[in-house]
């Protein structure tokens, strides 16, 4: 008669003896292969340098090619790109030292950006939906772009980089949705609620790329600012050329600091991220709707492969409820929107 034998297995179907032998082999490798600790010293050093750059980014000087601002613009990508690369190299080198060292930039990155990974949107609620979009002066179909952003349901909509010849197209396409609007230079504000106190804001450019208006909402007056900061470039000889943008940011920050209304919303293309210290004159006074009530990083530029959040909705005296990016239009930027609560 055949005799049946039964073998005890673990929850994963692996025999305890086999698992034990694997652990013993790993232990023996760590104990006997001295090279596993000696190899990868350079990789370990690079991992520590990466962690220091992330943790001490504010101390990277801007005196040489605005290197600090450039680093801060793409700060999240330091971890996204280089940590996996270092991890793969550490595995290829079979270096325990490098593998442990890679944990340091992981912790540093999570300390900086871990809070953005969760979904902080509040779902329903809120009094007002706002949106902003750099429509791109070379937009091939401004009418379609206008219809797309109006379909977002925004009560107040800001548009930047308005070409003079295209303004009538935007005005006509948005007229049925927004009763009130004003265009100042290359920026404009469309609203379902009355506008007053409309004026251009001088951001030291010699032409108008910023404006201010009071929107009389059902919950009371709110000061709206629309701004399009000067573009920045990365050049081999000059580095990160952002001097003009920085000057404009300081001027915009001064205007917001002098605002008499308690409730303030800034919509626009700031050509910089919330991490960029050069925008402190603005960002120190206002909070980001994406950081407070968004899901993920909310990158908005370039639209083909968003790498940075340079289109911002910033607030003071109101509570962000949710924040999100809208689908791509004919622009090289993505529109961004937010829902806010005015009755704080």
pLDDT in tens, 173-229: 999 999 999 999 999 999 999 999 999 999 999 999 999 999 999 999 999 999 999
Task: Give the pLDDT of residue 65.
Answer: 81
Q: Is the pLDDT of residue 170 over 90?
A: yes
pLDDT of residue 122: 75
The pLDDT confidence band at residue 4, using thresholds 50, 70 and 90, is: very low
Per-residue pLDDT averaged across 22-45, rounded?
75
- pLDDT of amino acid 5: 40
Distance CA(150)–CA(145), nearest Å, equals: 9
Report the candidate in 250, 260, 199, 259 with the shortest Cα–Cα distance to residue 229.
250
Position 13 scores a pLDDT of: 52
> How many angstroms separate the CA atoms of 210 and 188, rounded?
9
Q: In whole numbers, what is the pLDDT of the chain averaged over residues?
A: 91
The 10s digit of each residue's pLDDT in 88-100 is 999 999 899 999 9
Instruction: Give CA–CA dist 223/263, Å, rounded.
Output: 6
Question: Which one is predicted more confidently, 232 or 270?
Answer: 270
- Contact (CB, 8 A) for 195 and 215: yes
Domain ranges of the chain: 16-116, 128-341
The confidence score (pLDDT) of residue 286 equals 98
Q: What is the pLDDT of residue 103?
A: 97
Torsion of CA 46, 310, 265, 277, to 10 degrees: 40
Q: What is the pLDDT of residue 263?
A: 98
Q: Band of the pLDDT at 232, cuts 50, 70, 90? A: confident
Question: Each residue of 207-218: pLDDT tens digit?
Answer: 999 999 999 999
pLDDT of residue 207: 95
Give mean pLDDT, residues 132-156.
97
Tokens 């107040």 belong to residue: 156
pLDDT for the residue numbered 14 = 53
Give pLDDT, residue 205.
95
Looking at the domain covering 128-341, what would its CATH class be?
A: alpha beta
pLDDT at 64: 80
Is pLDDT above 70 for 8? no
What's the confidence (pLDDT) of residue 36? 82
pLDDT of residue 38: 83
Q: In the prediction, which pLDDT does 284 show?
A: 97
Task: Kindly state the average pLDDT of the residues 264-279.
Answer: 97
Neighbours of 262 (CB within 10 A): 13
Global pTM reads: 0.87
Instruction: Taking residues 125-143, report their average pLDDT.
Output: 97
Distance CA 244, CA 149 (A): 29
Contact 296, 117 (CB under 8 A): yes
């Amino acid at each position: 008669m055949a005799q049946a034998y039964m073998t005890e297995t673990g929850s994963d179907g692996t025999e305890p003896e086999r698992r034990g032998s694997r652990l013993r082999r790993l232990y023996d490798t760590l104990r006997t292969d001295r090279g596993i600790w000696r190899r990868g010293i350079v990789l370990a050093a690079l991992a520590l340098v990466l962690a220091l750059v992330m943790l001490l980014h504010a101390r990277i000087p801007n005196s040489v090619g605005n290197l600090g601002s450039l680093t801060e613009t793409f700060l999240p990508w330091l971890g996204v790109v280089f940590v996996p690369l270092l991890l793969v190299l550490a595995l290829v080198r079979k270096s325990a030292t490098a593998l442990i060292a890679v944990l340091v930039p992981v912790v540093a990155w999570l300390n900086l950006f871990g809070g953005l990974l969760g979904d902080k949107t509040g779902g329903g609620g809120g009094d007002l939906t706002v949106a902003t979009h750099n429509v791109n002066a070379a937009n091939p179909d401004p009418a379609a772009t206008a219809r797309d952003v109006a379909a977002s349901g925004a009560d107040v909509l800001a548009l930047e980089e308005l070409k003079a010849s295209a303004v009538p197209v935007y005005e006509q396409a948005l007229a049925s949705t927004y009763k009130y609007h004003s265009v100042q230079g290359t920026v404009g504000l469309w609203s379902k609620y009355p506008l007053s106190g409309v004026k251009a804001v001088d951001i030291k450019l010699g032409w108008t790329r910023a404006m201010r208006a009071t929107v009389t909402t059902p919950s009371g007056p709110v000061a709206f600012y629309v701004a399009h900061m000067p573009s920045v470039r990365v050049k081999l000889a000059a580095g990160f050329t952002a001097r003009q943008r920085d000057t404009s940011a300081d001027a915009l920050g001064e205007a917001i600091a002098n605002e008499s209304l308690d409730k303030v919303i800034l919509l626009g293309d700031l050509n910089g991220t919330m991490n960029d210290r050069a925008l402190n004159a603005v960002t120190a006074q206002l909070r980001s709707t994406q950081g407070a009530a968004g899901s993920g990083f909310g990158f908005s530029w370039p639209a083909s492969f968003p790498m940075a959040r340079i289109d911002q909705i910033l607030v003071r005296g109101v509570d962000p409820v949710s924040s999100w990016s809208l689908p791509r239009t004919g622009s090289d930027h993505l529109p961004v929107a937010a829902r806010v609560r005015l009755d704080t």
